[in-house]
Structure 1
Amino acid sequence: MPPQLAYEWWRSGDAVLVDVRSDAEREWVGYVPGAVSAPWKQWPGMAPNPGFDEAVRSQVPPGKKAVMLCRSGVRSIAAARRATELGIEAYNILEGFEGDADAEGHRGRKGGWRLRGLPWRQN
């Protein structure tokens, strides 16, 4: 789903915004205030997070949708599929937090939650 629609669902209370990026990504790149954290992979090494299932189950109440956010919208596809397998109605947020890389390999210039002007902060 497009970032703006995910934002609208989240702000209306229809969905929980689940940030599946690593703690390091949220700390260094930025985060969405009010989103819950359930890393799909963990830093260092980006190993699968064995606590993902429990994190999602504990943070997405029964009957609520989950909208999954990662850096570019790729890891969140796998996270949304897994949440769906757990019985949660889950959706991937296209473009992710930073969007696709541009011709120079930089993110944040081609789509993404931040570029779309949606709420975020950086430490």
Structure 2
Amino acid sequence: MAVSAPVGIDELLERVRARYARVDPQAAYEAWRDGDALLVDIRYQALRERDGVIPGAVVVERNELEWRLDPQGSHRLPEAVSHEVRVVVICNEGYASSLAAASLHALGLRRATDLTGGFQAWKSAGLPTTPAPTPDPDPDPTEAPA
């Protein structure tokens, strides 16, 4: 088996982005609003807590993305009903989401794409955001419910 020459991250991003059409914040918002896209936020918790979330977006940690969106997977989200679902992956600035979208394409999710500029571009465009919900603290198992 031939080993290909190493590529840098910039070239890799260029290659994967050439395989699909990325969407800008307004187009992503309109597709979601019209029921034609599932917005998937892969940012880690600290960024969601700092900057907020997009109402209606599904939060899926990056390390669980493929398992949650594979329509054939046993750990899929209820929204992962087919390979035809249009998924818009959102990271903080639009870099990790490109690699994630390419990974979803490898699973057969041919309509997967990512948000150009990520959450920061969404927020700068004045599109809806809300503060991240505060996680419920783990209840003390020795305490009786009120």
Compute the TM-score of the two structures, normalised by the length of structure 1.
Answer: 0.76
Whichever structure has more strand as a proportion of its residues is 1
Checking the alignment, whether the CA contact within 8 Å between 1:31 and 1:120 is kept in structure 2 is yes
Q: CA deviation at 1:61?
A: 2.5
Aligned to 2:47: 25
Q: CA deviation at 1:25?
A: 1.4
Pick one of 77, 83, 86 that aligns with 1:65.
86
Checking the alignment, whether the CA contact within 8 Å between 1:38 and 1:56 is kept in structure 2 is no
Alignment of 1:1-123 (within 5 A): 1-40=23-62, 49=63, 51-57=64-70, 58-59=76-77, 60-62=80-82, 63-88=84-109, 89-98=111-120, 112-123=121-132
Alpha-carbon RMSD across the aligned residues, in angstroms, is 1.3
Describe the SS at the equivalent of 1:13: coil
Describe the SS at the equivalent of 1:97: helix
Structure 1 gap ranges (5+): 41-48, 99-111
Structure 2 gap ranges (5+): 1-22, 71-75, 133-146
Deviation by residue 1:87-116 (Cα, 9 ceiling, x = unmatched): 112111101111xxxxxxxxxxxxx00110
Task: Read off the aligned partner of 1:118 and give its amino acid letter.
Answer: L
Compute the TM-score of the two structures, normalised by the length of structure 2.
Answer: 0.65
Q: CA deviation at 1:22?
A: 0.9
Task: Read off the aligned partner of 1:37 and give its amino acid letter.
Answer: V
Q: CA deviation at 1:15?
A: 0.9
CA distance in 1, matches of 2:35, 2:104: 18
* Max Rg structure: 2
CA distance in 1, matches of 2:112, 2:60: 13
Q: CA deviation at 1:39?
A: 1.9
Q: Percent identity?
A: 38
CA distance in 2, matches of 1:12, 1:64: 13
Task: Read off the aligned partner of 1:54 and give its amino acid letter.
Answer: W
Task: Read off the aligned partner of 1:55 and give its amino acid letter.
Answer: R
Q: CA deviation at 1:27?
A: 1.8
